[in-house]
Amino acid sequence: MKITILTYGSRGDVQPFLPLSVKLISRGHEVKLAAPSRFKNLVEGYGIEFVALPGDPETAILRINDARNNIFKMLREGFAHALEVGADVFQQSAEACMDADLIIHAFSHAVDGHTRAREMNIPDVHIQTVPMFAPTGDYPSVVLPDLKFRALNYFTHFAGIKIIWQLSRFGFRYISRRAGLPNRKLYFPFDENPLCPPTLMLCAWSPSLLPPSREWSANIHVTGYFYSDEIESYQPSPELKEFLDAGAPPICVSFGSMVNRDAEKIDKIIRESLAKTSQRGIILSGWGGARNPSSRDLLYLESAPHDWLLPRCQMLIHHGGAGTVAAGLRVGIPQVIVPFMTDQPFWARQVHEVGAAPKPILVKHLSVERLIRAIIEAGSDNIRERAGALGQAVHKEDGVTRAVELIETHAQNWKQTNQ
């Protein structure tokens, strides 16, 4: 099959599709991966055909992060960025899908990817790293706290889906008018339609962290995280190698793509907390974090692959992004989570509930005293043992193989149904 994958966002939104693409290619499929242009070298480094999408996700993430925990401001800022780059993204996505036999889409392309599949009369698959389009009473929408009542939790999912659908329809119409694009009939991938097989939804997280809901239909599957031990060929810099060899395993601090106007304040809290707990640290500064001079006990890097670095660390302090949570769980080390926005508080609560982390500290409540207490608690025997056990369970899961099997079966069934 010729398969086009559509995604957009930070590295965490692109990373899961790398091992998936490699596995699909190994099975004889042709794969194109469409993602923001800044990831061209990353994607092509794995031998995957890359289609560059316009716009810089750092701009959107900065806007959303500055909105702090105001969900309405976050929606407004994210939507504003989508309107700015939408026309060009639509056009590039259309070219990427032109000869596809199957379209795989992430959250950012759910409506566009599914609509293109319907227009081309080909199957599509939705892959998500956050539970967004699968209502359940087990937990609320990822941007809300647990409401304790199943009916209320279920309603938050239902309402969120309706809001996303209406925003998508408005955004498509607005962008099309501004860019002079033809009007299109839009289709939502998760509406019930007796004339069209349901879109296959693959949830790329560990069932050990968040099991499937009994309320879900048969087209929804929790596969496990997407990893491949064969594709990461990272060579550390001499500076990093020397630091790791010079002492005890450090604590890794990684806030990923969280560009924050309080970066210097957060960095100061981290440095002081590490010093007062006599810990060595590696701080991955990301796109826009603070980066001070390194020292004997503290090393600043812009980035390093989590799969390579974390097995050499004793603990992980991070923002709670789905990809970073996954990396920490798989390695089996304790986590301290300081969520900033959107789905991060949700994942932080889940990691705490399964026993691999202390209670999360919202970034607006972060202080030296709170972080020191969290570091000490995360280093306790209970959390270390629980994190290690989860790591063994997650490591045994083969999410990529399971996903590929489901994708191939879905494509075959779709073909038989529509012949």
Q: Using CA atoms, how far apart are residues 101 and 144, in angstroms rounded to an integer? A: 38
Q: What pLDDT is recorded for position 93?
A: 92
Q: What pLDDT is recorded for position 305?
A: 86
Q: What pLDDT is recorded for position 104?
A: 98
pLDDT per residue rounded down to tens, the chain (419 residues): 999 999 998 888 899 999 999 999 999 999 999 999 999 999 999 999 999 998 777 666 666 665 555 555 656 656 566 667 777 888 899 999 999 999 999 998 999 999 999 999 999 999 999 998 999 999 998 878 778 899 999 999 999 899 889 888 888 888 888 778 788 899 999 887 766 778 999 999 999 999 999 999 999 999 999 987 655 577 889 999 999 999 999 999 998 655 566 788 888 999 999 999 999 999 997 655 556 778 889 999 988 888 899 999 999 999 999 999 999 999 999 999 999 888 899 999 999 999 999 999 999 899 999 999 999 999 999 999 999 999 999 989 999 999 999 999 999 998 888 76
Spell out the domains of the chain, with CATH numbers in brackets: 2-225+397-418 (3.40.50.2000), 238-396 (3.40.50.2000)
Query: What are the structure tokens assigned to 137, written together?
Result: 């009473």
Q: What pLDDT is recorded for position 48?
A: 97
Q: What pLDDT is recorded for position 410?
A: 96
Q: What pLDDT is recorded for position 128?
A: 94
CA distances from 364 to 141, 215, 262, 349, 350 (A): 21, 35, 10, 16, 20
**374-381: Cβ within 8 A, 24+ apart:** 374/336, 375/251, 375/273, 375/274, 375/277, 375/279, 375/315, 375/317, 375/336, 376/277, 378/315, 378/334, 378/335, 378/336, 379/314, 379/315, 379/334
Q: What pLDDT is recorded for position 320?
A: 93
User: In angstroms, how far is the first alpha carbon of the chain from the final one?
Assistant: 16
Tell the residue number behind the tokens 């099997």, with chain if given.
Answer: 405
Q: What pLDDT is recorded for position 278?
A: 96
User: With the CA atoms of 240, 377, 320 and 214 taken in that order, what torsion angle do they form, in degrees rounded to the nearest 10?
Assistant: 130
Q: What pLDDT is recorded for position 143?
A: 79
Q: What pLDDT is recorded for position 259?
A: 55
Asked if 239 contacts 335 with a C-beta cutoff of 8 angstroms, the reply is: no
Strand order in the sheet with 30-36: 49-53, 30-36, 2-6, 102-105, 124-128, 200-203, 220-222
Q: What pLDDT is recorded for position 80?
A: 66
Q: Using CA atoms, how far apart are residues 360 and 162, in angstroms rounded to an integer? A: 30
Residue 209 dihedral angles phi and psi, to the nearest 5°: -90, -45
Q: What pLDDT is recorded for position 79?
A: 59
Residue 413 dihedral angles phi and psi, to the nearest 5°: -65, -40
Asked if 4 contacts 34 with a C-beta cutoff of 8 angstroms, the reply is: yes
